[in-house]
Amino acid sequence: MQSYRITERGQAPQLMDCPAPGTPGTGEVKVEIAACGLNFADLLMIEGKYQDTPTPPFTMGMELAGTVIEAGPECALTPGTRVAIFGGQGGLAEQGIFPEHRCTPMPDTMGFDEAAAFQIAYGTSHMALGLRGRLRAGETLVVLGAAGGVGLTAVEIGKRMGARVIACARGEAKLEIARAAGADVLIDSETPELKAALRAAGGADVVYDAIGGPAGEAAFGALKRGGRYLVIGFASGSQPKLKLNHALVKNLEIHGLYWGGYLDFAPEQLTGSMAELFKWFSQGGLKPHISGRYPLERVAEALEDLRARRSTGKLVITMR
């Protein structure tokens, strides 16, 4: 089979022929992979900068969807079950073996491409806004990177939770995508005085920052007293320099949210969140935005589009 692998630290990944996986062990399932979602973290893994980069050699692809074709001992899942999987690795291949506890049966109405684009983006925003940010109806949410993979889901979920949503993204086309997801106010992230623009729009009760850098600093400065600042990622390439004396004087809270980390210390939080999100999807309340679908042989091109920020929402690799 083909898989997209990093063979040595510091070496570029390559699409190569590899032996198909063997028999799943206890608590494992073998999956025919149909689609794999790409994430900014994949780019960091290539550079060896991601906090959970596996030791090479490994197959890239953190989240995927497919069909169980064989189940090992002590597994409840049976062959033929359609599953979404957060594997952390192994998704950019035609088949793979994964722990059963990483697999979630998909709603009947969900396509494989939607499932591959769903877990990390929606899971991050749902837990960040609900669990960490305690976003309440009527509050104002500022989303940085509002047309990106996680940012667009924050707009969608924030609006569903009853918030007034201010979307910040680069350029009119991306802002229009945020508007379609429910944003109430649109602000170009390259506005010279971004902090002033956010304050003029009413300020923020909660900031969802997947960008970092100067934009994060500006949004932090626009928080109201008692506001919450959510650290989601640093797509700009730099971390924001936050003025902690402002956090003290204005009684601000700063929360980090690493979605995958909950697997290690509170997996029930992830399970409950994903069950709620799949319920919302089945009710027609969520619609993943996929701006590009690429075959496996074009994965390098897709990653470059992600790196250059030419995409909106999610990019998905399809295996057939």
Q: What is the pLDDT of residues 217-265, one digit of tens each?
A: 999 999 999 999 999 999 999 999 999 999 999 999 999 999 999 999 9
Whether 2-118+288-318 and 121-258 share one fold: the answer is no
Whole-number pLDDT of residue 320: 77
Instruction: Provide the pLDDT for residue 137.
Output: 98
CB proximity list for 308: less than 8 A, separation 6 or greater: none
Comparing C-alpha atoms, which of 138, 167, 131 is closest to residue 258? 131
Pairing state between β 290-295 and 314-318: parallel
The pairing of strands 28-37 and 95-99 is antiparallel
Stated as kind and residue range, the H or E segment containing 163 is none
Q: What is the pLDDT of residue 11?
A: 87
Q: Say how far apart CA 105 and CA 107 lie, in whole Å.
A: 7
Q: Would you say 145 and 151 are in contact if contact means Cβ atoms under 8 Å apart?
A: yes
Query: What confidence score (pLDDT) does residue 295 get?
Result: 98
- Please tell me the total number of residues recorded for the chain in this structure: 320
Strand 204-209 to strand 140-144: parallel, antiparallel, or no bridges (unpaired)?
parallel
- Residues (pLDDT < 50) of the chain are none
Whole-number pLDDT of residue 241? 97
Reported as type and span, the H/E element at residue 166 is strand 164-169
The stretches of the chain forming alpha helices (DSSP H) are 40-46, 112-116, 119-127, 151-160, 172-180, 194-200, 213-221, 244-249, 262-265, 267-282, 299-307
Instruction: Give the integer Cα–Cα distance in Å for 186 and 197.
Output: 10
**Residue range 181-204, pLDDT digits in tens:** 999 999 999 999 999 999 999 999
Share of the chain above pLDDT 90, in %: 97
Q: What is the DSSP letter of 154?
A: H
Parallel, antiparallel, or unpaired: how do β-strands 164-169 and 95-99 relate? unpaired
Q: Verify cis geometry, omega within 30 degrees of 0, for the bond prior to 192.
A: no
CA distance readout (Å), 134 to 139, 164, 246: 10, 14, 20
Per-domain boundaries in the chain: 2-118+288-318, 121-258
CB 106 within 8 A of CB 67: no
CATH fold for the domain made of 2-118+288-318: Quinone Oxidoreductase; Chain A, domain 1 (3.90.180)
Tell me the residue type at 315: L
Burial class from Cβ neighbours inside 10 Å (0-12, 13-18, 19+) for residue 48 reads exposed
Contact present, 158 and 148 (Cβ < 8 Å): no
Q: What is the DSSP letter of 129?
A: I
Looking at domain 121-258, its CATH superfamily turns out to be NAD(P)-binding Rossmann-like Domain (3.40.50.720)
Query: Residue 265: its pLDDT value, please?
Result: 93
- Please state, in angstroms and rounded to a whole number, the distance separating the CA atoms of residues 35 and 61: 10
Q: Which two tokens stand for residue 227?
A: 């506001």
pLDDT score at 303 = 97
Angstrom distance (rounded) from CA 78 to CA 30 = 10
